[in-house]
Amino acid sequence: MSDLVLETRGLVKHFPITRGIVFRSKVGAVRAVDGVDLQLRRGETLGIVGESGCGKSTLAKLLVGLEKPTHGEIRVHGDDVTRLSGTAWRRTRRTIQMVMQDPYTSLNPRMTVGDIIGEPYDIHPDAVPHTGQVRAVQELLDLVGLNPDHINRYPHQFSGGQRQRIGIARALALRPEIIVCDEPVSALDVSIQAQVINLLEGLQRQLGLAYIFIAHDLSVVRHISDRVAVMYLGKIVETGHQAAIYEQPTHPYTQALLSAVPVPDPRLRGRREQIVLTGEVPSPADPPSGCRFRTRCWKAQPGCAEHEPLLEIRQRSSHPSACHFAEPHNVMRRF
Amino acid sequence: MNQEILLDVRDLHVEFRTRDGVARAVNGVNLRLHPGETLAVLGESGCGKSVTAQAIMGILDTPPAHITGGQVLYRGVDLLQLPERERRKVRANRIAMIFQDALSALNPVYTVGFQLAELFRVHRGTSRGEAKRRAVELLDQVRIPDARRRVNDYPHQFSGGMRQRVMIAMALALDPEVLIADEPTTALDVTVQAQIMNLLADLQRQRTMGLMLITHDMGVVADVADRIAVMYAGRVVEEAPVYDIYGRPAHAYTKALLESIPRLDHKGRQLNVIQGLPPALTDVPRGCSFHPRCAYAREICRHEEPPVYQIAPQRIASCHFVREVLGV
């Protein structure tokens, strides 16, 4: 049995830009996700980092089937789910669930916690026999550290951290193997963040879950991830083991991103390298030719505008990096 | 550090009178700010850090908010006693503030140039032409490329980081001595955050301005602050120079907070968790307000509010077990 639970090949999502109301014509496309290949193994956490607009949330939606890809394959246990329909599609979707960012808007305020967590059972009636549903929900509440007696309460009676636990319980209801977490802790206070991170880690150990962990907070991603992929304008620009990405980053964007993250240790003040990027992220509707990062890159040469660098292992990069001039440079080294 | 005191907040109390009861958002806060210094006010949501800032600025909504006690001294003058007309002059010329959400802080129907020029025209009586010229100059100072053209743009035409620059330009237009920045980079991406924090630091240095940085981000604080005041449930529970706090926290809450954040520079083990939630401000626990979540809590913490201990010339902490937390 292969350990690979999820794989995407050339995954693309373009959102059309249209003009006109009666005679709609397509005048362009926002290339939100533009050719993403990733692999996820059983029990592993793949962190996906990038700044706003890099396509990481669209990627999450594609993976759980909330958006249909324009091109490409999403393989769960080797089966391409983009080709499935009907019963087969539904059955496969059970294995991959999602935890949303905002615990305030992702729970229906008019449903009780029991109904929210139990709703997956209405859609998949064969998952748990009808008579056992209440118990199943109570077990889930217990599993995520909430009081099973609170099954009839409403979301507003819970705090932000507790609501995120409800969201996690809902994602676990169908016993998935993969959970896509889209910024699961960014809306939470620092002291609550740690509670939810520890819960996710504990559940992973206990249930053997694989996580796609999407976040903009690079410290949180390092803490929880085994491997990390860095996205820029719809593409993965660098990927590898967390230690490789954080200590030996080879793509200039990764280096700039890491150097910009403040570290909670004043002794490092002025002793860390700071690469300040100039300019702004270009529009994904009109990305630069060749390498997409070249407009903000200090290493850019004329050739970068013509040849798009592939995400591959290079002479000076032992992990895949999409830069013609990839070379390791530890920006966190103290000097 | 300059020992002159720009801003001196003494025993400030603010409460919100709501239908659900009285929420004591600020419970006796003391803060001092010196010229050229960066004081970080650190805390989680609901700790009273933003309310403190709004009370200093005089922009609290009354009702429901009521300042029930204390003084806000700016160069010795109590701002809370000033009539509104005088207060307004101070607000623009002496103390300025920037906010987290620049889009809602700027007026969407006027160009940024108009909004900047308005400051000079109203407060300085400058002519239109001159005011416009100074608006361009300001946008240039906050490093907005092509300022001469962008001055005629509306706020929505700027990106998040650029809007934050516009707001900084507006706050600094009249050369204030104190700048209060309430979560100025929380809504921004890290690379943009780095640009904005660098800009703020440069401008502060040029003007020897006192900066009060209100934030929950312990990374940003470690990078820029000189001193830190940690707030919990409406009080300053610890105040110290930045190196001391990160090296040896003296309050159980500060210590727990520092242990609960993941680090970028090493993978680390399981995070230390602070159990439970911050208290509701309508129902703050008796004794030490942190005791239900505290690993050091004992009987005394449930009944007696801890006094403020002066543990070093520039350090205070309000915890019954300061010595234990410090490990002495």
A9 in reach of chain B (CB within 8 A): no
Considering only CB atoms, A332 lies closest to which of B191, B222, B264, namely B264
Distance CA A29, CA A18 (A): 8
- Interface contact A198-B219, CB threshold 8 A: no
Q: Where are the beta strands (DSSP E) in chain A?
A: 4-19, 25-41, 45-49, 71-76, 79-80, 96-99, 178-182, 210-214, 227-232, 235-241, 312-314, 317-321
Helix (H, G, I), strand (E, B) or coil at A86: helix
Residue A288 tokens, joined: 């630069």
CA torsion angle B317 B319 B325 B326 (round to 10): 30
- The structural domain count of chain A equals 2
In Å, how far is A196's CA from the nearest CA of chain B? 9
Tokens of B175: 């050369």
Inter-chain residue contact B218 with A51, CB threshold 8 Å: no
Q: How many CB atoms lie within 10 A of CB A297?
A: 19
Are A158 and A89 part of one and the same domain?
yes
Interface contact flag, B246 A265, Cβ < 8 Å: yes
Kindly state whether residue A306 falls inside one of the protein's structural domains: yes
DSSP label of B107? -
Nearest CA in chain B to A262: B219
A36 pLDDT more than 90: yes
Q: Inter-chain contact A191–B260, Cβ cutoff 8 Å?
A: yes
Same domain for A41 and A136, yes or no, is yes
Choose between A281 and A293: higher pLDDT: A293
Share of chain B above pLDDT 70, in %: 99
Chain B residues in contact with A218 by the CB 8 A cut-off are 190, 264
3-state helix, strand, coil in chain B (%, to 5): 40, 25, 40
Residue A196 and residue A157 share a domain: yes
Indicate whether A98 and A195 sit together in one domain.
Answer: yes
pLDDT at B307: 92
Residues A82 and A208 in one domain: yes
pLDDT in tens, B198-224: 888 988 988 889 999 999 999 899 989
Query: Most B CBs within 10 Å: which of A224, A265, A271, as the mutation test of the B interface?
Result: A265
Q: What is the number of alpha carbons within 13 Å of residue B107 lying toward its C-beta?
A: 10
pTM of the model: 0.87
Best of A49, A51, A191 to substitute, by most chain B Cβ atoms within 10 angstroms, is A191
pLDDT recorded at residue A278: 78
pLDDT attached to residue A289: 92
Asked if A280 lies within 8 A of B161 by C-beta distance, the reply is yes
Q: What pLDDT score was predicted for residue B100? A: 84
Q: Which residues in chain A touch residue B217, judged by CB atoms under 8 angstroms apart? A: 262
Number of neighbours of residue A129 by Cβ within 10 angstroms? 10
- A233 found inside a domain: no
Strands A312-314 and A317-321: antiparallel
Q: Give me the residues of A, 228-247, that contact B with CB < 8 A.
A: 242-243, 246
Residue in the structure block whose two tokens are 């809590």 = B297
Distance in angstroms (rounded) separating the CA atoms of residues A57 and A182 = 7
- Provide the pLDDT confidence category of residue A51 given band limits of 50, 70 and 90: confident
Specify the CATH number for the domain of residue A35: 3.40.50.300
Select the more confidently predicted residue: B18 or B180.
B180
Contact A197 B189 (CB under 8 A): no
Nearest to A260 among B191, B257, B278 (CB): B191
Alpha-carbon span A258 to A125, nearest angstrom:
46
Residue A239 counted as domain residue: no
Compute the mean pLDDT over every residue in chain B, rounded to the nearest whole number: 89
A311 with A186, same domain: the answer is: no
Q: Which of residues 261-280 of A touch B (CB under 8 A)?
A: 261-269, 274, 276-277, 280
The answer to whether A125 touches A101, Cβ cutoff 8 Å, is no
Closest CB from A195, A266, A276 relative to B194: A276
User: Three-class SS of residue A245?
Assistant: helix
CB contact under 8 A, B222 and A195: no
- Alpha carbons within 13 A on the beta-carbon side of A191: 23
The torsion defined by the Cα of B275, B281, B283 and B285, in degrees rounded to 10, comes to 50
Cross-chain residue pair B242–A266, CB shorter than 8 Å: yes
Which chain A residue has its CA at the smallest distance from B199's CA?
A: A276
Tell me the pLDDT band of A173, cut-offs 50, 70 and 90.
Answer: very high
Query: Which band of pLDDT confidence, cut at 50, 70 and 90, is reported for residue B244?
Result: very high
Q: Which of A22-31, A159-168, B129-138 has the lowest mean pLDDT?
A: A22-31
Beta bridge partners of B230: B42, B238
Q: Is the pLDDT of residue B81 over 70?
A: yes
Interatomic CA distance for residues A169 and A182, integer angstroms: 15
Instruction: Report whether pLDDT(B268) > 80.
Output: no
Confidence category of residue B91, pLDDT binned at 50, 70, 90: confident
Identify the three-state secondary structure at position A79.
Answer: strand
pLDDT of residue A308: 93
Q: Are A214 and A90 within one domain?
A: yes
Distance from CA of A23 to the nearest CA of B (A): 28
For A316-333, write each residue's pLDDT tens digit. 989 999 999 999 998 876
Best of A156, A221, A223, A258 to disrupt the B interface (most B CBs within 10 Å) is A223
Find which of B244, B261, B290, B294 to mutate to test the A interface (most A CBs within 10 Å of its CB).
B261
Three-state DSSP at A224 gives: helix
Crossing angle between the packed helical segments A252-260 and B190-207, to the nearest 10 degrees: 50
B109 to chain A, closest Cα gap in Å: 25
**B190–A216 C-beta distance less than 8 A:** yes
Q: In this predicted complex, what is the ipTM?
A: 0.83
> How many residue pairs from chains A and B have C-beta atoms closer than 8 A?
130
Residues of A in contact with B246 (CB under 8 A): 264-267
Q: What is the mean pLDDT of residues A7-11?
A: 94
My answer on whether A39 and A175 are in the same domain is yes
Q: Which residue of A has its CA nearest to B246?
A: A265
**Chain B residue numbers touching A198 (CB-CB < 8 A):** 270-271, 273
Closest-CA residue of B relative to A271 is B223
**Cα–Cα distances in angstroms (integers) from residue B182 to residues A142, B50, B54, B190, B270, in the given order:** 38, 7, 9, 17, 31
pLDDT tens by residue, B110-168: 999 999 999 899 888 889 899 999 899 889 888 888 888 899 999 998 888 888 889 88
CA distance B304 to B289: 10
Helix (H) or strand (E) holding B28: strand B21-33
- B148, burial (CB in 10 Å: exposed 0-12, middle 13-18, buried 19+): exposed
CA distance A56 to chain B (A): 14
Note the helical H segments in B1-154: 49-57, 84-93, 102-105, 112-124, 128-141, 147-150
Lowest mean pLDDT among A21-30, A256-265, B170-179: A21-30
Task: Give A104-144 pLDDT, tens digit per residue.
Answer: 889 999 999 999 999 999 888 888 888 888 999 999 999 99
* Per-residue pLDDT, A2: 59
Confidence (pLDDT) at A1: 43
**Residue A115 exposure: Cα atoms within 13 Å on the Cβ side:** 10
Calculate the alpha carbon distances from B257 to A171, A190, A195, A201, B16 in Å. 29, 7, 12, 19, 27
Are A201 and A120 contained in the same domain? yes
Specify whether A35 is located in the same domain as A181. Answer: yes
Chain B, nearest residue to A201 by Cα: B270
Provide the domain limits for residue A282: 252-335
Q: Does residue A66 sit at the B interface (CB-CB below 8 Å)?
A: no
- Residue of chain B whose alpha carbon sits nearest to that of A146: B276
Instruction: Point out which residues pair with B231 in neighbouring strands.
Output: B236
Site from A183, A190, A228 to mutate, B interface, most B CB atoms within 10 angstroms? A190
**Residue B3 CA to its chain's centroid (Å):** 20
Q: For residue B249, give Cα distances in angstroms to A269, B9, B315.
A: 18, 23, 10
pLDDT above 60 for B2: no
What are the residue boundaries of the structural domains of chain B, listed by start? 251-328
DSSP letter string, B259-296: HTS--SSS--SSPP---S-PPPTTSPPSSSTTGGG-SS
* Bridge-based pairing state of the strands B227-232 and B235-241: antiparallel
Longest C-alpha distance within chain B, in Å? Answer: 68
Of the candidates B197, B223, B271, the beta carbon closest to that of A194 is on B271
Distances (CA, A) of B300 to A261, B274, B292: 41, 20, 12
Nearest chain A residue to B265 by CA: give it: A332
Please state, rounded to an integer, the average pLDDT across all residues of chain A: 90
Q: How far apart are CA A326 and CA A274, in angstroms?
A: 19
Strand arrangement, sheet containing A312-314? A96-99, A178-182, A210-214, A45-49, A227-232, A235-241, A317-321, A312-314
- A266 and A188 co-located in one domain: no
Choose the weakest-confidence range: A34-43, A123-132, A272-281: A272-281
Cβ-proximal residues to A204 (8 Å cutoff; 6+ apart), any chain: A43, A45, A211
B3-61: per-residue pLDDT in tens? 789 999 999 999 998 888 888 899 999 999 999 999 999 998 889 999 999 999 988 88
Name residues 277-296 of chain A within 8 A of B (Cβ): 277, 280
Contacts of residue B100, Cβ cutoff 8 Å, sequence gap at least 6: B182, B183, B184, B186, B187
